[in-house]
Amino acid sequence: MHKAYIYPVTKRFKSEIYNPYIDNFITYNSNNFLFLNKNNPSNSGIFNVLKYITQIDTIFFNWIEKIPDFKGGFFQSIFLVILLNFCKIKGIRIVWTVHNKISHSKDHLWLKKYIFKILMRKSDLIITHSREGKSLVTSYGMSLKHVFYFPHPVINSPIFENEKKEFDILVWGSLVPYKGIDLFLENIYKNNLQEKYVIKIIGKCYDTGYLKKLMTYSNYKISIEDKFPNNNDLGRLMSSGRIVLFTYSSDSILSSGALAESVAYGALVVGPDKASFSDLSELGYIFVYDNFNSLIRLVDDILSGDKTLPKENYKKFQKEFHWKEFASKLFQEFN
């Protein structure tokens, strides 16, 4: 069995909005990889790998482009470059999951771009959950020979049937600027639609200024909650809405765990025509829009019953893109 290190498993990571990706990755790949650091969260960033460097034969990187934003980010970045070269010399395999085109934060952008360039060259296997990720790799002049594409994997989620709908549109997940929620609400008011739809926006927001901006758009039809729904509530919450809407405005996104999770829960999803949203639209699992006007037309068609998706699609989605399938195909690519 391969002995591996996976990044990040840190105390900082655990304190943020919970993202199950790392836990699921470890769980479903544990038959083929022994993740030495899985139960040992670190607060020393990438330097933590030094504890395991003599034991491991593989390193898995996730969201590594965010390193410059962390404490000691410049020195962590220098160490990362040294580490990548060391791994190539010692034959330690580097597997990098490209979740985004670049970090959503534009701070230290030159350094993040440099990290991307180095990882493109040094990685033995690049994982992407969006076909656009393959285009990203070729844009760096690299071959697709060592690129593994698989839509964002999911677990089997209960599909709730709720005939009584409490709202027309649900927006859920972390409330951050790159998702464009404020731009969506601004357009709702600009087009005098603030009383047309019942809209529920729920998610944790750590930027008090951004939250204050969002709250200015709330009214008796538009509710905004600064809290993250737990897994027990999420399925029921989605079944209480007619549409789960994603308003991502940033071009930095490649794939979205919230998108995959929403489809797995049986939600009728609407999102922008970009990245993994486009992929799932072409496969017939979601609807996409080009701009605000096309979004409103699409929403109206769905609410009137003119557009819908077959219920059997959701179970098919769970089966086709389950974490077990991902782990099996990943190991084939790894070998």
- Based on the fold, state whether residues 313 and 286 are members of the same structural domain: yes
Count the neighbouring beta carbons within 10 Å of the beta carbon of residue 228.
17
pLDDT tens-digit map of 151-197: 999 998 878 777 788 999 999 999 999 999 999 999 999 999 999 99
- CA–CA separation, 58 and 132 (whole Å): 26
Percent of the chain with pLDDT strictly greater than 90: 78
For the record, the structure tokens of 104 come out as 């959503």
Domain around 283 = 167-318
Dihedral sign from CA coordinates of 106, 108, 110, 111: negative
CB burial of residue 311 (10 Å; 0-12, 13-18, 19+): exposed
CA angle 287, 290, 293 (to 5 degrees): 100
Residue 205 covered by a domain: yes
- Based on the fold, state whether residues 75 and 175 are members of the same structural domain: no
- Based on the fold, state whether residues 173 and 79 are members of the same structural domain: no
- Based on the fold, state whether residues 226 and 145 are members of the same structural domain: no
* β-strand partners of 148: 127
- Based on the fold, state whether residues 18 and 75 are members of the same structural domain: yes
- Based on the fold, state whether residues 222 and 121 are members of the same structural domain: no
Residue 327 covered by a domain: no
Q: What is the mean pLDDT of residues 308-330?
A: 93
Looking at 149, 184, 199, the residue that finishes a domain is: 149
Residue 158 covered by a domain: no
Nearest 10 degrees: Cα torsion 258, 48, 2, 29 = -20
Residue 251 covered by a domain: yes
- Based on the fold, state whether residues 100 and 175 are members of the same structural domain: no
The CATH number covering residue 136 comes to 3.40.50
- Based on the fold, state whether residues 74 and 180 are members of the same structural domain: no
- Based on the fold, state whether residues 24 and 66 are members of the same structural domain: yes
Nearest 10 degrees: Cα torsion 250, 256, 260, 266 = -40
- Based on the fold, state whether residues 110 and 206 are members of the same structural domain: no
For the record, the structure tokens of 6 come out as 């996976």
For the record, the structure tokens of 252 come out as 């930095």
5 φ/ψ angles, rounded to the nearest 5 degrees = -120, 135
Residue 55 covered by a domain: yes
pLDDT tens-digit map of 187-239: 999 999 999 999 999 999 999 999 999 999 999 999 999 998 877 788 889 98
Q: How many domains does the chain have?
A: 2
- Based on the fold, state whether residues 136 and 186 are members of the same structural domain: no
pLDDT tens-digit map of 89-136: 999 999 999 999 877 777 778 999 999 999 999 999 999 999 999 999
